[in-house]
């Protein structure tokens, strides 16, 4: 890689050129081999930032000259550079598994990417997942690149005032201090895109970040040639009103696709991480129209096979919607960005295309422009089928075409050095680079003593971190010197340490533990079996209720000064804070309102470090939980926002802590002080769940189950004749469907079999364009069943009408069976590509 000299200041001596190569590759965010180099160069700056790129931008020329003469340092640097290159050149899982790759490139679009605190362009779980996806693609050698935005301010930084109220801060993200470099065109000019907006052009600058083998491309509008308002489009992540959000999403989707075109990259797969990037669907189709001279329906048919939409939203209100008049302004005012008429685009974003008052829904656009849609946990897949069923009227909910791939986390990014060493001892250094099949059995050999030593060290380290943060927070809030001094000894390294950190929003119920403050006080202050609590989290700047919940916690702490050594609220929850918490706490608590936690990944991060989970049976925990691995809240049912149910679940939470969690931690200890029951639970959790909920498993599943099949579908539509045939089939279905009807149904049963016979009248529709099926309803104990009916002779005296038959086992009552007609064509996905369905009754 060529490093732009102007982004290295001062100029590096030739013998230190390898520092730039190491610093620009964000692989250092999870591979800590060269950490000693940066610590040697700038110990204080390294301790504060853990950002090699920032160190190179700020280190003095005299220091560099001294290092250039230090032969031991140069030898270490050369060794690390050589090892770095060797690792990137190694044969990886993808090339071993797919010697003939089913696809050449995946473009992963996301509004946010959480890779490191040195690149603060994320707000929460969606971005952390996207960052973990890129890191894992690098580890596994999957040909994937990222498309995102370089936010000038990012989300926001949090502070607390002396009353415990949240204060939002928006420091500028200086690109020169972040590990990004300008993208250059063939003439070595900084690559800029001109995105047509109504009445003007908006210039987008292109940057890139290197993530091991993977490149992340980032766009920003802060170009001096843009109007001030347009320079602010990429200022604040999820900031501004509806028009700003629409502009941001056009920049991501359309601008991102334009960037790929400029770079000569032709991805097989466009993976849309949430609906924010759905405009890429239109841009991709428009490019196909230009390249192949087709109309829009044919272009969409050809390209949507390669589009994958991952939804993270568990409630309909979470989908981005725009007033039709606002979208019309941007589509009609910028035809070169879309290439089709306004009405066609509006219809793609509506449940009822003819309803001119219906807002434009980005999730609807993503579904109408993709052939593959997935949720992010098994439960969320079911929830999404319910949410999206309005787009597939009369289809059973179970057949709404939404699958799921449960999220995972990039374990090397979240494990402590001590956890990494323990896993390496039992599972080898390459444990997260292969098929994961032996990890569970290998880790089970870990001794009680080793596990307990891991946890004891981790608890000490998180307490050290919390003390330092607390001292800084108190000093910033002008707290008395006595309080700052007491913070140095807050928390106890031998006390059960519970972590609770997440976005403060009502549906996450972050104040469930405060339902009974007196009971919480007794739990924390138990003289024989004490508990200590580490809390962190931000509320959206416009979420007054979330801010009030933060203040409730801080007020509880202030009202009980004797708990100052038992509770710490850590301000400014970010990746660095999250890393420390998930590595150190004994128990992670999560209390969302089911089914609002689509997946949740924070609790997954404690697994590799030996932390346990106590969580609502929602998202990933609904499929991960077993009594041997943790504790569960709830009854696996949905209760909306029922206050009485919230009270009952709070009671359940207190009871679990008092009667099961705390006793298991403190009792049943052996002669060496190891809590045997607690350690057994840790071993089960680490062995069973760590690999299962890793992003390695997740991304391998995406490759096997989604990327490869989508690439095959896309390749099958490379011929114009195939696409034209699909378009004619869809046209014929729409034109003739209303005239299709059933005739007489006859059923005869014998001892073992039901024999069904039904007459079907197809108007002028080709009989091969449909399938006639026999559908059996599920009855709770059994899932629905579908049987193909066989087309027999044409009916005498009728045009294009046939006799269809089917024989099925007689173990189900006849009343459960219903014939139906659905569209059918080889190589097409129904109901995604044709939603019609006709039931006999």
The answer to whether 419-425+438-692 and 737-839 have equal CATH topology is no
b/e per residue, 649-671, with b = 16+ CB within 10 A? Answer: bbebbbebbbeebbebbbeeeee
CATH of domain 737-839: 2.60.40.10
Closest CA to 255 of 229, 219, 230: 219
Kindly write down the DSSP assignment for every residue of 250-316, as one continuous string: HIIIIIHHHHHHHTT---SEEEEESGGGTHHHHHHHHHHHHHH---HHHHHHHHGGGEEEE---SSG
How high is the pLDDT of residue 10? 59
Measured between alpha carbons, how far is residue 20 from residues 38, 39, 179, 191, 644 in Å?
12, 15, 10, 22, 59
How high is the pLDDT of residue 529? 95
Q: Are strands 770-776 and 785-788 parallel, antiparallel or unpaired?
A: antiparallel
Q: Are strands 144-149 and 106-110 parallel, antiparallel or unpaired?
A: parallel
Give the model confidence (pLDDT) of 27-42 as tens digits.
999 999 999 999 999 9
b/e per residue, 386-417, with b = 16+ CB within 10 A? Answer: ebbbebbeebbeebbbbebbbbbbbbbbbbbe
Instruction: Give the separation between CA 418 and CA 610, rounded to whole angstroms.
Output: 11
How high is the pLDDT of residue 5? 44
Burial environment of residue 126 by CB neighbours within 10 A (0 to 12, 13 to 18, 19 or more): buried
How high is the pLDDT of residue 369? 97
How high is the pLDDT of residue 779? 73
Burial environment of residue 804 by CB neighbours within 10 A (0 to 12, 13 to 18, 19 or more): buried
Kindly write down the DSSP assignment for every residue of 101-128, as one continuous string: -S-S-EEEEES-B-S-TTS-B--SHHHH
Give residue limits of the domains in the chain.
5-89, 93-389+399-407+708-714, 419-425+438-692, 737-839
Question: In 3-state terms, what secondary structure has residue 818?
Answer: strand
Instruction: Give the separation between CA 736 and CA 247, rounded to whole angstroms.
Output: 40
Give the model confidence (pLDDT) of 167-189 as tens digits.
999 999 999 889 999 999 888 88
Q: Which residues contact 286 (CB under 8 A, 6 or more apart)?
A: 296, 299, 337, 338, 339, 340
Quickly name the fold that domain 419-425+438-692 has.
Answer: Rossmann fold (3.40.50)
CA atoms within 13 A on the CB side of 406: 19
To the nearest 10°, the Cα dihedral for 130, 131, 132, 134?
A: 90
For the chain, which ranges sit under pLDDT 50? Answer: 1-6, 8
Beta-strand ranges (E) seen in 531-638 are 531-536, 567-570, 587-590, 612-616, 630-633
Measured between alpha carbons, how far is residue 583 from residues 172, 298, 675, 704 in Å?
30, 51, 19, 31
How high is the pLDDT of residue 335? 67
Sign of CA pseudo-dihedral 765, 771, 777, 780: negative
Question: What are the two backbone dihedrals, phi and then psi, of residue 607, each rounded to the nearest 5 degrees?
Answer: -55, -50
Give the number of other Cβ atoms within 10 Å of residue 16's Cβ. Answer: 20
Kindly write down the DSSP assignment for every residue of 432-469, as one continuous string: TSS--TTHHHHHTT--HHHHHHHHHHHHHHHHHHHHHH
Closest CA to 282 of 360, 193, 386, 199: 360
Query: What is the reported pTM?
Result: 0.95
Does 831 sit behind a cis peptide bond, omega within 30 degrees of 0 on the bond before it? yes
According to DSSP, residue 809 is labeled E
Closest CA to 632 of 610, 655, 609: 655
Quickly name the fold that domain 93-389+399-407+708-714 has.
Answer: Rossmann fold (3.40.50)
Helices (H), 717-806: 720-736
As beta bridge partners, residue 167 has 159
Length of the chain: 841
């Amino acid at each position: 890689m060529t490093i732009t000299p102007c982004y290295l200041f001062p100029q590096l001596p030739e013998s230190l050129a390898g520092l730039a190569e190491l610093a620009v590759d964000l692989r250092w965010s999870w591979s800590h081999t060269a950490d000693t180099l940066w610590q040697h160069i700038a110990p204080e700056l390294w301790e504060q930032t853990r950002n090699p790129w920032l160190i190179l931008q700020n280190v003095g020329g005299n220091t560099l000259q001294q290092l250039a003469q230090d032969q031991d340092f140069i030898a270490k640097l050369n060794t690390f550079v050589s090892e770095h290159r060797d690792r990137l050149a190694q044969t990886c899982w993808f090339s071993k598994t797919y010697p003939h790759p089913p696809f050449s490139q995946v473009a992963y679009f996301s509004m946010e990417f959480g890779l490191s605190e040195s690149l603060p362009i994320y707000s929460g779980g969606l971005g952390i997942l996207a960052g973990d996806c890129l890191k894992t693609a690098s580890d596994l050698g999957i040909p994937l690149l990222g498309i995102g935005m370089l936010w000038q301010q990012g989300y926001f930084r949090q502070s607390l005032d002396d009353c415990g109220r949240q204060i939002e801060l928006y420091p500028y993200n200086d690109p020169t201090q972040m590990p990004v470099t300008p993208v250059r065109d063939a003439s070595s000019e900084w690559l800029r895109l001109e995105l047509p907006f109504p009445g003007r052009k908006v210039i987008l600058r292109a940057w890139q970040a290197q993530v091991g083998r993977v490149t992340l491309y980032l766009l920003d509008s802060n170009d001096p040639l843009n109007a001030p308002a347009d320079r602010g489009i990429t200022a604040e992540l999820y900031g501004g009103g509806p028009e700003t959000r629409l502009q941001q999403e056009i920049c991501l989707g359309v601008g991102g696709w334009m960037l790929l075109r400029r770079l000569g990259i032709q991805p097989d797969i466009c993976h849309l991480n949430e609906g924010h990037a759905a405009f890429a669907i239109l841009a991709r189709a428009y490019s196909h129209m230009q390249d192949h001279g087709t109309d829009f329906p044919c272009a969409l048919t050809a390209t949507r096979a390669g589009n994958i939409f991952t939804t993270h939203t568990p409630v309909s209100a979470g989908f981005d919607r725009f007033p039709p008049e606002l979208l019309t302004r941007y589509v009609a005012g910028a035809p070169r960005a879309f290439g089709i008429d306004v009405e066609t685009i509006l219809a793609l974003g509506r449940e009822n295309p003819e309803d001119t008052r219906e807002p434009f829904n980005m999730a609807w656009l993503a579904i109408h422009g993709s052939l593959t849609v997935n949720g992010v946990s098994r439960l969320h897949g079911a929830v999404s089928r319910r949410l999206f069923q309005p787009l597939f009227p009369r289809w059973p909910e179970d057949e709404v075409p939404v699958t799921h791939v449960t999220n995972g986390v990039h374990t090397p990014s979240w494990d402590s050095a001590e956890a990494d060493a323990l896993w390496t001892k039992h599972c080898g250094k390459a444990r997260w680079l292969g098929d994961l099949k032996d990890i569970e059995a290998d880790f089970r050999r870990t001794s009680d003593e080793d596990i307990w030593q891991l946890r004891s060290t981790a608890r000490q380290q998180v307490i050290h971190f919390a003390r330092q943060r607390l001292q800084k927070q108190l000093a910033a809030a002008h707290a008395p010197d006595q309080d700052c001094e007491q913070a140095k000894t807050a928390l106890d390294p031998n006390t059960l340490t519970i972590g609770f950190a997440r976005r403060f929003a009502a549906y996450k119920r972050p104040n469930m533990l405060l339902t009974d403050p007196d009971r919480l006080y007794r739990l924390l202050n138990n003289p024989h079996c004490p508990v200590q609590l580490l809390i962190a989290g931000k509320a959206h700047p416009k979420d007054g209720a979330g801010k009030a919940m933060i203040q409730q916690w801080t007020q509880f702490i202030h009202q009980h000064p004797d708990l100052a050594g038992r509770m710490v609220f850590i301000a400014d929850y970010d990746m660095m804070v999250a890393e420390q918490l998930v590595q150190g706490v004994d128990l992670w608590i999560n209390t969302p309102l089911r089914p609002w936690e689509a997946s949740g990944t924070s609790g997954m991060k404690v697994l590799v470090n030996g932390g346990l989970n106590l969580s609502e049976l929602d998202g990933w925990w609904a499929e991960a939980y077993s009594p041997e691995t943790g504790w569960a809240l709830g009854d696996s049912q949905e209760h909306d926002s029922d206050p009485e149910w919230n009270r009952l679940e709070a009671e359940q939470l207190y009871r679990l802590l008092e009667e099961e969690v705390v006793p298991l931690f403190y009792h049943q200890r052996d002669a060496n002080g190891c809590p045997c029951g607690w350690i057994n639970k840790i071993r089960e959790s680490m062995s069973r769940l760590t690999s299962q909920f890793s992003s390695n498993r997740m991304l391998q599943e995406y490759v096997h189950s989604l990327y490869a099949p989508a690439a095959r579908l896309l390749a099958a539509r490379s011929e114009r004749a195939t696409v034209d045939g699909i378009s004619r089939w869809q046209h014929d279905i729409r034109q003739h469907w209303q005239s299709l009807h059933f005739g007489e149904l006859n059923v005869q049963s014998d001892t073992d079999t039901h024999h069904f016979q039904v007459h079907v009248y197809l108007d002028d529709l080709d009989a091969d364009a449909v399938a006639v099926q026999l559908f059996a309803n599920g009855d709770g104990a059994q899932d629905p069943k579908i049987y193909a009916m066989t087309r027999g002779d044409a009916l005498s005296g009728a045009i294009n009408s046939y006799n269809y038959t089917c024989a099925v086992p007689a173990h189900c009552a006849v009343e459960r069976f219903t014939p139906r007609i659905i569209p059918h064509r080889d190589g097409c996905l129904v109901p995604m590509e044709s939603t019609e369905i006709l039931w006999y009754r």
